Structure 1
């Protein structure tokens, strides 16, 4: 019988404890691990927990009544869950207001989804999604998609982005790389068949692209502009230009809304509309009423950033479910797309003719171009590399 290291729970011959760094972080990392994952010898949540001084590890499925989780959920403005989803904000936005505590769900994707679904407290917390800088090095375990990475790789990526000093957090990967290399060496040298076989499912596009394709008939693309004052003036941003369109039918919506506050000096420059056009805009109430009539039951808004949604919510508009197009674009490109116009350029998609004035007019057609390209990729039946070879 093989003797185990009681710290890393690996066989003594493959113990990685000597390579575990001790890294402090400003962010408190709370790992919620599915019980099945605890028994996986090549899991990485425990490894990350051992490396991060400011972390804790809890094992379970149903955390109802869990005092620690309830205490965290009581302050959603300070906490975020590292888990993908339609409402997940990209790292770029999370860096502007980084969470004090990051909850990391650990398990295979089906188990992790079950854990999140089982715990309503998690569903009510903000989520963070991200695109990895590089493909996963988890060569000893099958991942469901190209953009998926191990728990420790995800934590390294996110902490590095939230706190800076990426190279400091990269040291967490030392025991991970040792474990992967050691496991592969053992597999190559063994003569008996492996005890477990890994079955890979058929290829399919990334989840974010499939979601766009599956909901294409009900998508309403949205872009909004604001009258935004400098922070020191303590005036909230207000909606002044709203454009939307349905890519499935080509229906369009536009509303220029008269400012209710003094016009900021830079507003006309940023929104690319003359002052007289803004001041002659319709009242907020009538513009939102028209937009409410434009949106149908079952529709899903598709936005590049959540700013437009925040403006609508601030004015009391009942915002339906929304998709983050920038995150989907990043999944397709496997890199950060930047602004929506740059994303369209990187995807090589053709821009439709501009139909609305101002910056919003330019960006709504760029958003349409991106969504059409992602819809096509979301319906693909084979990887892009094979498609290129076939053509």
Structure 2
């Protein structure tokens, strides 16, 4: 679906300008796990390089909510009451899913798994957790990362920091490893396609601007 945004036509799915829409590269994955993406309002405005929307589009069993305080959010509280819920957030007590399961397979743990993913900067994420009282008692999940982020158009706080969609891929791979999921490798291999195409497009735009600037300076120098 397309909609007008200012003087530019914009895609209503990925929230990017139509000229750089990434929906055609999305290969949506079906999962047993429910993913809930909590997006800070500031992140929502990052149309050019936000990966929260791409993550949501790439997961059929996912929902995306925008806000800071979700304490009284009806849908989120419903999910919390019906699922074994976790939040992806590193802390000293976090379950390291690279080394251990989220939980065993006892009958009492047969509820669906829901994983909350915060799409925001570290500082804003901390505020969202502090404000959202209903999320404060959730078990935290972390994982060991040996991948370098491919987010070349955005400076990450550290080498090990990944974008939202890259972190989600790592989670999917580990959920597969522990048999919570059975996702075919072909789907995992193409999960980052829209992200990689977005980065490629943005880098090309930067190169074009640099080339235009050089041509302008050379032309100006020649006439002077």
The two structures have a TM-score, normalised by structure 1, of: 0.46
For structure 2, list consecutive stretches of 5 or more residues without a partner in the other structure: 1-6, 106-111, 178-182, 214-224
Is 1:49 the counterpart of 2:60? The answer is: no
Aligned residue in 2 for 1:59? 66
Is 1:16 the counterpart of 2:22? The answer is: yes
Deviation for aligned residue 1:100: 0.8
Is 1:179 the counterpart of 2:185? The answer is: no
CA distance in 2, matches of 1:61, 1:45: 15
1:323-362 to structure 2, matched below 5 A, reads none
1:166–1:157 distance in 2 versus 1, CA, 3 Å: farther
Aligned residue in 2 for 1:128? 141
For structure 1, list consecutive stretches of 5 or more residues without a partner in the other structure: 194-391
Aligned residue in 2 for 1:29? 35
1:232-381 to structure 2, matched below 5 A, reads none
CA distance in 1, matches of 2:81, 2:21: 39
Deviation for aligned residue 1:95: 5.0
1:43-122 to structure 2, matched below 5 A, reads 43-74=50-81, 78-91=84-97, 92-94=99-101, 97=104, 100-122=113-135
Aligned residue in 2 for 1:311? none
Residues 33 and 60 of structure 1 are in contact (CA less than 8 Å); yes or no, is this contact kept in structure 2? yes
Residues 26 and 193 of structure 2 are in contact (CA less than 8 Å); yes or no, is this contact kept in structure 1? yes
CA RMSD, Structure 1 to Structure 2 (Å): 2.0
Structure showing greater radius of gyration is 1
Deviation for aligned residue 1:96: 5.2
**1:234-289 superposed Cα distances (whole Å, 9 cap, x missing partner):** xxxxxxxxxxxxxxxxxxxxxxxxxxxxxxxxxxxxxxxxxxxxxxxxxxxxxxxx
CA distance in 2, matches of 1:166, 1:121: 34
Aligned residue in 2 for 1:163? 176
- Partner SS for 2:161: coil
Instruction: Extract structure 1 runs of 4+ deviating beyond 6 A.
Output: none
With CA pairs under 8 Å and 6+ residues apart, which has the higher RCO, 1 or 2?
2
CA distance in 2, matches of 1:136, 1:116: 24
Residues 146 and 160 of structure 2 are in contact (CA less than 8 Å); yes or no, is this contact kept in structure 1? no
**1:352-381 superposed Cα distances (whole Å, 9 cap, x missing partner):** xxxxxxxxxxxxxxxxxxxxxxxxxxxxxx
